[in-house]
């Protein structure tokens, strides 16, 4: 029995290593979150594109909105994590302390949820992809795989869904609007924004001026 368990663990670890290495060169065939989107909304709108075809505006927009220290941290923004923890202790509405790297690890390898077990796995995967993939690949996988609408995944599908154009042709404002809805793309709509979303969009537009792509 012990040998079988040991063999299973070995196979599991080996499969994960191969998946991580493979992920450096190719986007995931499908993710758990994408499967959930198919089940919930009955569709999967997704079109993986190369990093070079995404355009600079959306890269700047998501960095401005989600993780302005993306190019200088090691996968974790400790100040943001500490703030989120303190806000949670005070009973405040918690804003995500997750970096783009953490979100990529979650969306590519794991599932949605707030359990400590999932968070622990996310930490391990984040640490590894920072070492193996590097920033450009992480941002590529993030923009190709994350949910950007109901059953809509990745920036190319989102650009077509919301604006009827390719991602590389998005204007600065359009890219900022897509980044604006990322905290809750199932709920928020860039074509019918609340006052909160309009204010957030304006803030992202200003912050994009401070983002320099590596």
pLDDT of residue 116: 79
Within a domain: 194 = yes
pLDDT of residue 19: 77
pTM score, whole prediction = 0.86
Within a domain: 172 = yes
Within a domain: 101 = yes
Within a domain: 214 = no
- Of all residues in the chain, what percent carry a pLDDT higher than 90? 66
Within a domain: 80 = yes
Within a domain: 213 = no
pLDDT of residue 87: 55
Give the lowest-confidence range in 4-13, 103-112, 121-130, 182-191: 4-13
pLDDT of residue 76: 82
How many Å from the N-terminal Cα to the C-terminal Cα in the chain?
51
Burial string for 107-133 (b: 16+ CB within 10 Å, else e) reads bbbbeeeeeeeeeebbeebbbbbbeeb
Number of domains in the chain: 1
pLDDT in tens, 16-56: 778 788 888 989 999 999 999 999 999 999 999 999 999 99
Within a domain: 126 = yes
pLDDT in tens, 78-137: 776 666 555 555 555 545 568 999 999 999 988 787 777 788 888 989 999 999 999 999
Q: Is a pLDDT exceeding 80 seen at residue 14?
A: no
Q: What range defines the domain where residue 143 resides?
A: 2-208
Q: Is a pLDDT exceeding 80 seen at residue 184?
A: yes
Using alpha carbons, select from 158, 143, 211, 167 the residue that is nearest to residue 188.
158
Q: Is a pLDDT exceeding 60 seen at residue 58?
A: yes
Q: Round to whole Å and give the CA distance between 74 and 77.
A: 8
Give the lowest-confidence range in 93-102, 134-143, 144-153, 192-201: 93-102
CATH number at residue 144: 1.10.3810.10
Within a domain: 86 = yes
């Amino acid at each position: 029995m012990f040998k079988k368990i040991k063999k299973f663990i070995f196979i599991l670890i080996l499969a994960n290593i191969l998946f991580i290495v493979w992920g450096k060169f190719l986007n995931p065939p499908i993710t758990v979150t994408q499967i959930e989107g198919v089940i919930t909304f009955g569709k999967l709108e997704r079109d993986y594109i190369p990093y070079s075809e995404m355009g600079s505006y959306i890269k700047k927009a998501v960095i401005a909105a989600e993780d302005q220290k993306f190019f200088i941290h090691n996968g974790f923004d400790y100040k943001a994590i500490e703030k989120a923890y303190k806000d949670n202790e005070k009973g405040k509405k918690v804003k995500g302390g997750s970096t783009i790297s953490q979100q990529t690890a979650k969306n590519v390898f794991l599932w949605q949820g707030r359990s400590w077990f999932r968070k622990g796995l996310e930490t391990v995967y984040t640490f590894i992809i920072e070492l193996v993939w590097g920033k450009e690949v992480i941002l590529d996988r993030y923009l190709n795989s994350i949910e950007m609408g109901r059953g809509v995944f990745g920036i190319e599908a989102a650009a077509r869904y919301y604006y009827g154009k390719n991602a590389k042709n998005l204007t600065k404002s359009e890219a900022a609007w897509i980044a604006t809805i990322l905290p809750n793309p199932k709920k928020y709509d860039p074509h019918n924004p609340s006052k909160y979303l309009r204010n957030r969009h304006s803030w992202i537009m200003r912050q994009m001026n401070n983002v320099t792509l590596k």
